[in-house]
Structure 1
Amino acid sequence: MFSSKAALRSQLLAARRVTAALSGPGLLAVAREQVEVVAARTIAVYVSMANEPQTGPLIDWLLASGREVLLPVLYADNDLGWGIAPGAADLVPGRLGLSEPPVDLGADAIASAELVICPALAVDRRGVRLGRGGGSYDRALARVSPGTPTWAVVHDSEILDELPADPHDQPVKAALTPTRLVQLG
């Protein structure tokens, strides 16, 4: 097993730098086939950065197909608010180099989402999600309405058998990769 979450994060980030590939069209193709995406009118997602699987094509398609897309706004305490995506050209710079919507609807706006797609460095087969360590998404996922599908976006190699978990960690129900959707839990 791993000595700590911090050590595991370092290993996963190093692996992403080595194996980063264009994954946006793959995520979009997989997502478009999912009944949860087809049925949802409001979807919370995030704007990917650097070596993360690219969510841009998915966001563009969701907006073009008339969906309401909620994007996170990172607060100074690392909690997340949510705003309606106006389109990629209208995003504003946020904390830590993130791109954010210009209007914040508040932290509880995520409860209106019918599908939540969040970032992760890895997930395990039980649904344990490893983020970057700030707790932002654990707090946000705790506000999601019961029964709402929650997916973590990872590369295929980042679905692991087991990850360390803390009591505050919020599980996800599936992993969306550039090649497939894997049910967890």
Structure 2
Amino acid sequence: MTDDVSHDKRALRAELRERRRICTAKEREESEAGVTANLIELATRLESKSVAAYLSTTDEPQTRGFLRWACEHDISVLLPISRADGLLDWAPYDGEEEDNDLIGMPAPTSEVLGPIAINDVDLIIVPAASVDRTGMRMGWGRGYFDKTLGSMETKPPIYAVIFESEFVDAVPTEIHDQPVNGIVTPSGIVTITEHN
């Protein structure tokens, strides 16, 4: 069963990567404006004072506009830095310098805080390959966010940033996969389950 799920996930990820890769510059620009506006609306609605988010890669829905806005509005922002043990460290983001972490993901260059720094934020924004209508999130296969979210005793609202076509009826799921409370796309915000 797990082998079949893993195979299904790999096939779906490959399809989603290709779909993201062939987006036009105009589509990317339009999606960035929508994602930024919707993330701002979400953070404002939730009255967020601190956010854990991530620096998007070229093919992902862009988070940088939102992160700049958060910094300008005195919302503290923590961004992840991948560790060799599969966990995430966190570092404050000030909108300035960035570098690549050990797996090549964009990361801040500020002081590194440990994995538990995320426990103090009031909103978590995560990347995803796809999310289904029950809130199950399928990531890109490395498990960093699943481990982080799975280790948290209490969680603030968690929203994944995806394109509309990546919100689907069902995603292949394994025992370690962690759900999200909602999604943010270029066209809107969907809350799937209220935060407990």
Post-superposition offset of 1:38: 5.1
Contact 1:36 1:115 in 2 (8 A): no
Does 112-121 or 34-43 show the bigger shift?
34-43
Inter-partner Cα distance in structure 1 for 2:148 and 2:44? 20
Matched, 1:96 2:103: yes
Post-superposition offset of 1:147: 4.8
Matched, 1:179 2:187: yes
Percent of aligned pairs with the same amino acid: 34
SS of 2:103's equivalent in the other structure is helix
Q: 2:65 aligns with which of 57, 67, 78?
A: 57
Q: State the TM-score, normalized to the length of structure 2.
A: 0.87
Gaps of 5+ in 2: none
Q: Relative to 1, partners in 2 of residues 1:49 and 1:37: Cα closer, same or farther, differing over 3 Å?
A: farther
1:1-185 matches, cutoff 5 A: 4-19=8-23, 21-22=28-29, 23-34=31-42, 39-87=47-95, 89-102=96-109, 103-144=111-152, 146-185=154-193
Inter-partner Cα distance in structure 2 for 1:37 and 1:140? 25
Contact 2:125 2:159 in 1 (8 A): yes
Inter-partner Cα distance in structure 1 for 2:50 and 2:187? 23
Gaps of 5+ in 1: none
Inter-partner Cα distance in structure 2 for 1:6 and 1:47? 23
Tell me which stretches of 4 or more aligned residues in structure 1 moved more than 4 Å: 35-38
Q: How many residues align?
A: 184
Inter-partner Cα distance in structure 2 for 1:147 and 1:100? 23
Post-superposition offset of 1:76: 1.4
Inter-partner Cα distance in structure 2 for 1:60 and 1:156? 23
Does 99-108 or 114-123 show the bigger shift?
99-108
Inter-partner Cα distance in structure 2 for 1:144 and 1:61? 27
Deviations 1:35-78 (A, max 9, x none): 66551111000000021000010000000000100000111133
Q: State the TM-score, normalized to the length of structure 1.
A: 0.91
Does 99-108 or 2-11 show the bigger shift?
2-11
